């Protein structure tokens, strides 16, 4: 099993007048204002080398207008939701100056998707303690951080008296024996290893920080709960409301976990057992939130005519249309009225997960089914070979999932949608088209960017957004109709 260092919390500046940055990337102060652009370039170069695998230009020294440099700046801007110009504007420099995690944003996570413990009862032990808090306070906060995940899942955590515990918790400084040294106050706060033998799950806190049980200093409960998420196999989220968002925030609501965090931990592990009211305590139910139906609240049969019916992925495959929701599948033959349905494994035994996106390339007679950072190839009625990494299509390494995909027969392009951006993949040359990603709203006016699924039929793209389906004229670039998702199943 692979083990890797996962990302940590970093400090978000909350107090006026405070200015702390990770030592590695603190720009040298210059007395002359004219030196500032050069300082910014030096900062950006170091930042992109460390986090985005920037390589030296083939000929000559690094220039801010060089193609390699500009490409990496764009990657960074897209990752942080900035305007992807490739130019070192003030917003980009400000992000680069912000304290953050030391793990590269382009770190390959593809081989780690789905990494989890093969048991639901895990042991932990606290080795070295911090001097900032009494031992019994540290014990209580660490136990509370584990309880955050226990209350939201079927996991249980038991404190162990031996060093053979699954998760070893240590407060250490600088070089501490794992090849990932800490950097002193206000830089990297903590890090954790993903599930696995040896150091797998081990979680280290930088004891050069000032650890507290309050909002002043660095709140141990908030950081520990985040790091234990990594120790359980979760990756970072781009959602600022998520506990797994990489930036540290001292002020949080009493509910540390977002809906996304709850869904992700239960997708990785078995559904909630013994906590049936957890989602209702969050004000959620399977009736008003499609995330919580199916895989989290299993049903033997799904009501295809429910008014709030949604799909995770829709694709034509041969002479049929496939509708995926959680781990469930409906198959509607284009020339027949009957619909086959059941768990995906009934039809494709090799696929034991939900499907996030799917598309069909007729000239290859092949369908591609995507789950997070992996995809399967389906030909005929058979899944061919093992799942492959999504990076096969040429995505930057930070892309670990997509919301929807659709192949346009007329252009030979496959479009991949993620959040508010999309990519265009040339199926003939098998490369990403130049200049992507682009914003969905700019090229698909009238389409809500929360796209759940998409399918191409007879010159139209049908965008599934919750229970609504937008019929989009690809030639005229406009929405020409709105339907209900359940009408596609004959309702």
Looking at 75, 97, 119, the residue that finishes a domain is: 97
Structural domain boundaries enclosing 175: 110-268
88 and 124 fall within a common domain: no
- Binding residues for Ca(2+), by number, are 132, 166, 183-184, 200, 202, 206-207, 209, 312, 356, 358, 405
51 and 164 fall within a common domain: no
Residue 365 has a pLDDT of 86
Residue 335 has a pLDDT of 66
Q: What are phi and psi of 243, to 5 degrees?
A: -60, -25
Polymer length in residues for the chain: 491
Confidence of residue 15 (pLDDT cuts 50, 70, 90): very low
227 counts as catalytic: yes
251 and 340 fall within a common domain: no
**What CATH code is carried by the domain that includes residue 124?**
3.40.390.10
Which is higher by pLDDT, 228 or 161?
228
| CA angle in degrees (0–180, nearest 5) for 173-177-180 | 70
In a domain, 102, yes or no: no
442 and 323 fall within a common domain: yes
Would the pLDDT of 278 be above 80?
no
184 and 237 fall within a common domain: yes
Q: Which of 161-170, 378-387, 404-413 has the lowest mean pLDDT?
A: 378-387
In a domain, 377, yes or no: yes
376 and 259 fall within a common domain: no
In a domain, 419, yes or no: yes
Looking at 34, 65, 97, the residue that finishes a domain is: 97
In a domain, 211, yes or no: yes
Confidence of residue 101 (pLDDT cuts 50, 70, 90): low
In the chain, how many domains are there? 3
454 and 342 fall within a common domain: yes
253 and 359 fall within a common domain: no
pLDDT digits (tens, 9 = 90+) for 43-75: 788 778 756 778 776 555 556 667 788 888 988
Q: Mean pLDDT across the stretch 14-27?
A: 34
Residue 196 has a pLDDT of 87
114 and 258 fall within a common domain: yes
- Binding residues, by number, are 101, 132, 166, 176, 178, 183-184, 191, 200, 202, 204, 206-207, 209, 226, 230, 236, 244, 312, 356, 358, 405
Q: Mean pLDDT across the stretch 75-93?
A: 83
**What CATH code is carried by the domain that includes residue 419?**
2.110.10.10
In a domain, 5, yes or no: no
321 and 467 fall within a common domain: yes
197 and 264 fall within a common domain: yes
d(CA 157, CA 60): 55
d(CA 221, CA 257): 12
Token look-up 């609240």 returns 297
Would the pLDDT of 409 be above 60?
yes
In a domain, 332, yes or no: yes
Confidence (pTM): 0.49
Looking at 45, 64, 97, the residue that finishes a domain is: 97
d(CA 159, CA 150): 13
Which is higher by pLDDT, 23 or 450?
450
pLDDT digits (tens, 9 = 90+) for 222-250: 899 989 998 998 887 777 788 887 778 76
Residue 341 has a pLDDT of 82
In a domain, 455, yes or no: yes
In a domain, 441, yes or no: yes
d(CA 235, CA 218): 21
Asked if 233 and 116 touch (Cβ cutoff 8 Å), the reply is yes
Task: Name the active-site residue from 30, 56, 215, 227.
Answer: 227
pLDDT digits (tens, 9 = 90+) for 470-480: 999 888 888 98
484 and 342 fall within a common domain: yes
| Rounded percentage of the chain residues whose pLDDT exceeds 70 | 77
Residue 284 has a pLDDT of 43
């Amino acid at each position: 099993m692979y083990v890797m260092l996962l990302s940590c919390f970093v400090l978000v500046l909350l107090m006026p007048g405070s200015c702390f940055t990770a030592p590695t990337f603190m720009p040298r102060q210059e007395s002359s204002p004219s030196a500032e652009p050069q300082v910014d370039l030096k900062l950006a170069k170091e930042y992109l080398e460390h986090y985005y695998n920037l390589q030296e230009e083939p000929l000559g020294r690094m220039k801010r207008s060089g193609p390699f440099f500009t490409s990496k700046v764009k990657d960074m801007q897209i990752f942080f939701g900035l305007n992807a110009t490739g130019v070192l504007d003030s917003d980009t420099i400000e992000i680069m100056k912000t304290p953050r995690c030391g793990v590269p944003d382009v770190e390959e996570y593809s081989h780690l998707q789905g990494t989890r413990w093969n048991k639901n009862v895990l042991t932990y032990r606290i080795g070295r303690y911090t001097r900032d808090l009494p031992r019994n306070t540290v014990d209580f906060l660490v136990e509370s951080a584990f309880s955050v995940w226990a209350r939201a899942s079927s996991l249980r955590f038991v404190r162990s008296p031996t060093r053979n515990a699954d998760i070893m918790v240590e407060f250490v400084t600088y070089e501490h024996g794992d090849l990932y040294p800490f950097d002193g106050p206000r830089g990297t706060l903590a890090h954790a290893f993903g599930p696995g033998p040896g150091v797998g799950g081990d979680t280290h806190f930088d004891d050069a920080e000032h650890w507290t049980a309050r909002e002043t200093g660095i709140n141990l409960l908030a950081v520990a709960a985040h790091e234990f998420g990594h120790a359980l196999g979760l990756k970072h989220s781009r959602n600022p409301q998520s506990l797994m968002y990489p930036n540290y925030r001292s002020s949080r609501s009493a509910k540390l976990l977002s809906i996304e965090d709850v869904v992700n931990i239960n997708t990785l592990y078995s559904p909630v057992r013994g906590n049936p009211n957890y989602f209702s305590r969050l004000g959620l139910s399977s009736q008003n939130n499609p995330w919580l139906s199916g895989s989290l609240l299993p049903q033997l049969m799904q009501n295809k005519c429910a008014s709030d019916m949604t799909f995770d992925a829709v694709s034509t495959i041969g002479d049929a249309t496939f509708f995926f929701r959680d781990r469930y599948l409906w198959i509607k033959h284009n020339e027949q009225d009957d619909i086959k349905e059941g768990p995906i494994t009934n039809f494709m035994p090799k696929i034991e997960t939900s499907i996030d996106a799917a598309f069909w390339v007729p000239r290859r007679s092949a369908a591609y089914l995507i789950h997070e950072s992996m995809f399967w190839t389906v030909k005929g009625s058979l899944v061919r070979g093992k799942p492959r990494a999504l990076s096969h299509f040429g995505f930057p390494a930070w892309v670990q999932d997509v919301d929807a995909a659709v192949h346009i027969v007329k252009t030979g392009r496959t479009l991949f949608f993620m959040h508010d951006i999309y990519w265009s993949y040339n199926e003939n040359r098998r490369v990403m088209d130049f200049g992507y990603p682009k914003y969905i709203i700019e090229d698909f006016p009238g389409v809500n960017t929360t796209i759940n699924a998409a399918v191409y039929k007879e010159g139209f793209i049908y965008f599934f957004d919750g229970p609504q389906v937008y019929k989009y004229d690809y030639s005229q670039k406009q929405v020409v109709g709105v339907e209900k998702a359940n009408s596609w199943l004959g309702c």
